[in-house]
């Protein structure tokens, strides 16, 4: 089956089953995904760094083991977001400062995935240092939405989401601070899961007690996403927050668990939402009633989210990048500079207030789940917007005060340490995907996945992806020209 691109249309779970039976080999999968990437990625720019030679060397070593000893992924190819180090592979963080950087060692997470039989073959595109929910940078340009290549793929895991949607990945690794797994999943019609802090071990970086930024899985289906989460989890002394592996999340997704009572909120009481997006999400949430689940309008009090997130996000950027700002300010995009300076300008009183606000929201969210099994809301407040716009500046008549405020429906959940998943739940009238955010109590990823799997089955949107990129006005311009022009407009 070497080079058989029909493999790329299968789910990750189906391909892993083939790998475990020996019906296909890891090399067959690499041939298939390489051929698919060569065919479609030029139109969307999702995977700007390829490392197929390294991948084949790893695959051959893996194939020396018996079939039953090749890990949970058994040789499945996996792309890694270009914020995460892979030994011997160019890793830029989307920054001109690191445009030619090649790390000598891999992130803890990469080692975990490889130990479970994941084969790394590419790096997925990201905005500079992951800042901003629109995936473009001055190293590689913009990643384009395959549903309409004039639109944003969101971010910061935009390359990962687009690779899934176009069939150049079966599963993909991403990361999330203010919605970076959930936003692109929503815009691209795939699944993105933000796990609880500590669930996925990774290199701590400058801020070892981080609770905002986490790494997590993406897939085309809930089961595929759970499969990758299983391969990403585990305790390690290299990450002081890491949690032990206690369950199979794929088994949880398939368990048949159903919630008894769920809450839906169109806006969490904190943000405007496009009326069409809100309507699509409400209709999807109400489908839980088809299973006999009680669906009610409710949400916890998250009113301090804007204030707390601005301070804590700024502090995170300052801790991580203040030294680079001092030495390389001219190579940083204005949004990154703004984030760092927000943190540097915070007072201790600001930090004390923000930490107290976060603690209060955590307690309220935890108490909320004494009544409700799941909280449902839109994953993003709009569907995909034009890629030439750096961010959403206005929604439903409200003008945002800065470039991250439009992400509140995602970052409010971040502040509570709750796991959250973006599930494809419908399309706008003009064909743009919309994601429903499904949230559960801290460390209850199993419930998120089981609930999402149940709703996924009712909604019937499995198999919507992968798609070929949809490039408007194909006769009048090439896809490469579109990428170049978009990159220039953004930078």
| Least confident residue range of 165-169, 189-193, 449-453, 485-489 | 485-489
pLDDT at 206: 86
pLDDT of residue 374: 99
pLDDT reported for residue 485: 33
Phi, psi of 145 (to 5 degrees): -75, 125
Average pLDDT of span 92-121: 98
Please list, in sequence order, all residues whose beta carbon lies within 8 angstroms of the beta carbon of residue 347, skipping any fewer than 6 positions away: none
* Confidence (pTM): 0.95
Q: What is the model's pLDDT at position 490?
A: 31
The band of 1, judged by pLDDT with boundaries at 50, 70 and 90, is very low
Q: What is the dihedral of CA 395, 149, 81, 17, to 10 degrees?
A: 110
What's the CA gap between 183 and 379, in Å, rounded? 6
Instruction: Work out the mean pLDDT of the chain and round it to a whole number.
Output: 95
Q: What is the pLDDT of residues 315-354, one digit of tens each?
A: 999 999 999 999 999 999 999 999 999 999 999 999 999 9
Q: Which of the four pLDDT bands, split at 50, 70 and 90, describes residue 210?
A: confident
Name every residue whose Cβ is closer than 8 Å to that of residue 338 and which is 6 or more positions away in sequence. Answer: 402, 403
For residues 270-299, give the mean pLDDT.
98
Least confident interval from 107-116, 148-157, 208-217, 409-418: 208-217
* Active-site residue set: 81, 156, 180
Domain spans in the chain, listed from the N-terminal domain onward: 5-490
pLDDT at 9: 97
Residue 474: pLDDT above 60?
no
For residue 403, pLDDT beyond 60: yes
Q: Compute CA 359 distance to the chain's CA centroid, rounded to the nearest angstrom.
A: 25
Q: In this predicted structure, what is the pLDDT of residue 205?
A: 87
**pLDDT on residue 3:** 42
User: Residue 163's closest CA among 176, 174, 175, 177?
Assistant: 174
Provide CB contacts within 8 A for 291, sequence distance 6+.
Answer: 258, 454, 458
- Rounded average pLDDT over 478-482: 41
Q: Report the alpha-carbon distance of residue 78 to residue 169 in Å, rounded.
A: 7
- pLDDT tier at 272, thresholds 50, 70, 90: very high
For 379-390, write each residue's pLDDT tens digit: 999 999 999 999
Please tell me whether residue 152 adopts helix, strand or coil conformation. strand
- Residue 286: per-residue pLDDT: 98
- pLDDT tens digits, residue range 18-32? 999 999 999 999 999
% pLDDT > 70, the chain: 95
Q: Residue 489 — very low, low, confident or very high, per pLDDT cuts 50/70/90?
A: very low
Residue 155 tokens, joined: 């971010």
- pLDDT value for 486: 38
Q: Which tokens go with 54? A: 């390294």
Whole-angstrom Cα distance, residue 157 to residue 174?
A: 5
**Residues paired with 251 in a beta bridge:** none
| pLDDT of amino acid 2 | 40
Domain with residues 5-490, CATH architecture:
Alpha-Beta Complex (3.90)
């Amino acid at each position: 089956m070497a080079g058989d691109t029909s493999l790329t249309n299968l789910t990750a779970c189906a391909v892993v089953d083939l790998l475990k039976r020996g019906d296909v080999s890891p090399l067959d999968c690499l041939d298939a995904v390489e051929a698919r990437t060569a065919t479609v990625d030029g139109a969307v720019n999702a995977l700007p760094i390829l490392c197929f030679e390294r991948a084949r060397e790893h695959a051959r070593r893996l194939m020396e083991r018996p079939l039953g000893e090749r890990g949970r992924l058994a040789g499945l190819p996996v792309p890694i977001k270009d914020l995460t180090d892979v030994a011997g592979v160019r890793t830029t963080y989307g920054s001109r400062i690191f445009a030619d950087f090649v790390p000598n060692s891999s992130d803890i997470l990469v080692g975990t995935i490889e130990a479970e039989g994941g084969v790394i073959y590419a790096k997925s595109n990201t905005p500079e240092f992951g800042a901003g929910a629109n995936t473009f940078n001055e190293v590689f340009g913009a990643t384009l939405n395959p549903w309409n290549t004039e639109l944003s793929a969101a971010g910061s895991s935009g390359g990962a989401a687009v690779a899934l949607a176009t069939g150049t990945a079966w599963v993909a690794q991403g990361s999330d601070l203010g919605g970076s797994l959930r936003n692109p999943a929503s815009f691209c019609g795939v699944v993105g899961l933000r796990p609880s802090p500590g669930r996925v071990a990774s290199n701590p970086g400058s801020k070892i007690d981080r609770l905002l930024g986490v790494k997590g899985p993406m897939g085309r289906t809930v089961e595929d996403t759970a499969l990758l989460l299983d391969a990403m989890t585990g305790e390690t002394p290299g990450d002081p927050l890491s949690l032990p592996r206690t369950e199979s999340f794929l088994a949880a997704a398939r368990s048949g668990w159903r919630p008894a009572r769920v809450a839906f909120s169109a806006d969490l009481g904190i943000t405007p939402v496009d009326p069409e997006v809100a309507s699509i999400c409400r209709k999807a949430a109400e489908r839980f009633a088809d299973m006999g689940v009680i669906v009610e309008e409710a949400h916890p009090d998250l009113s301090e989210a804007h204030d707390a997130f601005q301070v804590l996000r700024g502090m995170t950027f300052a801790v991580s990048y203040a030294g680079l700002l001092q030495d390389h300010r001219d190579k940083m995009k204005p949004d990154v500079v703004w984030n760092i300076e927000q943190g540097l300008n915070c007072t201790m009183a600001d930090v004390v207030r923000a930490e107290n606000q976060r603690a209060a929201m955590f307690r309220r969210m935890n108490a909320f789940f004494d009544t409700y099994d799941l909280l449902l809301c839109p994953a993003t407040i709009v569907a995909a917007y034009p890629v030439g716009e750096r961010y959403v500046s206005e929604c439903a008549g409200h003008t945002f005060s800065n470039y991250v405020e439009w992400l509140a429906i995602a970052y409010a959940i971040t502040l509570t340490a709750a796991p959250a998943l973006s599930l494809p739940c419908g399309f706008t009238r003009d064909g743009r995907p919309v994601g429903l955010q499904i949230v559960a109590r801290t460390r209850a990823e199993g419930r998120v996945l089981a609930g999402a799997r149940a709703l996924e089955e009712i909604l019937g949107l499995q198999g919507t992806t992968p798609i070929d990129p949809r490039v408007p006005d194909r006769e009048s311009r090439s896809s490469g020209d579109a990428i170049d022009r978009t990159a220039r407009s953004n930078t």
